[in-house]
């Protein structure tokens, strides 16, 4: 065996690296493997930015988890000595009265119930507060000052460094390939590169690669790709925080959301929608002409001044979607010594500061108030997604 440890964690994205750190903090020997280099360019976590928002419609648990996670992001900023979580606030805008927008209305009410301070904004107030919203198409909404975005790829890189400094054996360049089984017990993992890693317990946190390692999960989760655009505006000033913040453009109906000017000198606009099925490794993550056409429709309606901006970069953001869009964190019901921590479904990164301890609790069998939602479960093929901010139309492109 190449190495032996108490715990082997497969995958060094946000699920895996936080799990490794939490298990190590509890005194275990931990090995973390990943195809690498780290952060791995093909991983869902590896991006310039991810939204950190409390807004989850009527789902109180997710909101409470994010409230705790935001405290953790501030702690990471202090620990890293660098601001990688930016609390710009979040604008949720809608084209109809808020009473007719379930996601926006439920989120607003839940924020108030949880003691937060969202500011209700009329269409005129949205335009006055955030001048780039000039079209008047959005007539209602709210601004939550608590929330913003994290520089996700850089955060993962810092967490990998922290794991190494804390004694986690980090092994990039190792692609999990075959489970090492002895009867009904898992004893480690064989990699494509020819190494074997033995462990008392293995945690597969391999994102969209998980159902390929564990085919029994292919009926309940799949990889999907969603368009991302980086825009270089001719005049960046109207799109710079605090005059422009993380936003949802009636996203439950359209899928569109975005960010203010990022460190890279671009505005990132993305679509949280149906996506297209793809293989996490073999398929190119290409943005199609139809995606460009839908972006133009959104910009005409929302930010027409951006229509002549250069699009400097595109990609498809990789989701590991469970059918119900809740995470999948549990022991394998049939293989002893194996746990799963995956199913981010396009909204997992923001929970990073609380994920590790949640997963470590589940692995250790320690009670955790949040774990039940993410247990191993039976899902019918026609199960519909429950993530409230996501556009669930019949096909990508319909708005």
Tens-digit pLDDT profile for the chain (399 aa)? 467 999 999 999 999 999 999 999 999 999 999 999 999 999 999 999 999 999 999 999 999 999 999 999 999 999 999 999 999 999 999 999 999 999 999 999 999 999 999 999 999 999 999 999 999 999 999 999 999 999 999 999 999 999 999 999 999 999 999 999 999 999 999 999 999 999 999 999 999 999 999 999 999 999 999 999 999 999 999 999 999 999 999 999 999 999 999 999 999 999 999 999 999 999 999 999 999 999 999 999 999 999 999 999 999 999 999 999 999 999 999 999 999 999 999 999 999 999 999 999 999 999 999 999 999 999 999 999 999 999 998 544 333
Please tell me the predicted confidence (pLDDT) of residue 394: 52
What distance in Å separates the CA atoms of residue 168 and residue 162, rounded to the nearest whole number? 9
Please tell me the predicted confidence (pLDDT) of residue 104: 98
Distant-in-sequence contacts of 41-44, Cβ < 8 A, 24+ apart: 42/280, 42/281, 42/318, 43/11, 43/12, 43/13, 43/156, 43/207, 43/318, 44/13, 44/207, 44/208, 44/317, 44/318, 44/319, 44/320, 44/344, 44/348, 44/349
Please tell me the predicted confidence (pLDDT) of residue 183: 93
Q: Which fold has domain 3-45+153-221+324-374?
A: FAD/NAD(P)-binding domain (3.50.50)
Q: Global pTM?
A: 0.97
Q: Which fold has domain 89-144+222-322?
A: D-Amino Acid Oxidase; Chain A, domain 2 (3.30.9)
What distance in Å separates the CA atoms of residue 43 and residue 155, rounded to the nearest whole number? 13
Q: Provide the 3-class DSSP secondary structure of residue 54.
A: coil
What distance in Å separates the CA atoms of residue 284 and residue 23, rounded to the nearest whole number? 35
Residue pair 374/328 in contact by the 8 Å Cβ criterion: yes
Q: Report residue 3 CA to chain centroid gap.
A: 31
Please tell me the predicted confidence (pLDDT) of residue 3: 77
What distance in Å separates the CA atoms of residue 64 and residue 388, rounded to the nearest whole number? 15
Q: Where are the alpha helices (DSSP H) in 189-268?
A: 210-213, 251-254
Please tell me the predicted confidence (pLDDT) of residue 399: 30
Domain positions in the chain: 3-45+153-221+324-374, 89-144+222-322
The count of residues in the chain is 399
Please tell me the predicted confidence (pLDDT) of residue 2: 60
């Amino acid at each position: 065996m190449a190495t032996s440890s108490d715990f082997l964690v497969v995958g060094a994205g946000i699920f895996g690296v936080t799990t490794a750190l939490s298990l190590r903090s509890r005194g275990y020997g931990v090995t973390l493997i990943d195809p690498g280099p780290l952060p791995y360019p093909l991983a869902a976590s590896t991006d310039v930015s991810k939204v950190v928002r409390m807004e989850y419609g009527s789902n109180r648990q997710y909101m409470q988890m994010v409230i705790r996670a935001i405290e953790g992001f501030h702690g990471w900023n202090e620990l890293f000595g660098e601001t990688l979580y930016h609390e710009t606030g979040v604008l949720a805008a809608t084209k109809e009265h808020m009473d007719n927008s379930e996601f926006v209305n439920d989120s607003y009410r839940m924020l108030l119930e949880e003691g937060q301070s969202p500011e209700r904004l009329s269409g005129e107030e949205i335009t006055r507060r955030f001048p780039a919203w000039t079209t008047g198409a959005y007539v209602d909404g709210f601004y939550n000052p608590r929330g913003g975005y994290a520089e996700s790829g850089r955060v993962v890189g810092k967490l990998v460094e922290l794991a190494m400094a804390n004694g986690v054996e980090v092994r990039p360049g190792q692609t999990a390939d075959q489970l090492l089984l002895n009867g009904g017990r898992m004893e480690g993992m064989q990699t494509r590169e020819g190494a074997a890693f033995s462990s008392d317990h293995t945690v597969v946190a391999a994102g969209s690669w998980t159902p390929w390692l564990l085919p029994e999960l292919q009926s309940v989760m799949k990889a999907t790709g969603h368009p991302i655009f980086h825009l270089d505006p001719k005049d960046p000033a109207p799109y710079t925080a605090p005059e422009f913040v993380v936003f949802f453009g009636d996203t439950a109906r359209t899928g569109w959301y975005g960010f203010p000017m990022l460190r890279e000198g671009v505005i990132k606009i993305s679509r949280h929608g149906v996506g297209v099925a793809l293989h996490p490794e073999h398929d190119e993550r290409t943005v199609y002409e139809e995606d460009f056409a839908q972006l133009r429709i959104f910009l005409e309606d929302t930010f027409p001044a951006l229509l002549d901006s250069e699009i400097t970069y595109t990609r498809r953001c990789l989701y590991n979607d469970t059918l119900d869009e809740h995470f999948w964190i549990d022991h394998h019901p049939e293989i002893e010594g194996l746990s799963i921590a995956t199913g981010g479904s396009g909204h997992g990164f923001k929970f990073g500061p609380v994920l590790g301890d949640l997963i470590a609790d589940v692995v250790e069998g320690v009670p955790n108030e949040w774990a039940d939602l993410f247990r191993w479960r039976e899902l019918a093929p026609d199960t519909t997604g429950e993530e409230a901010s996501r556009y669930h139309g019949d096909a990508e492109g319909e708005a």
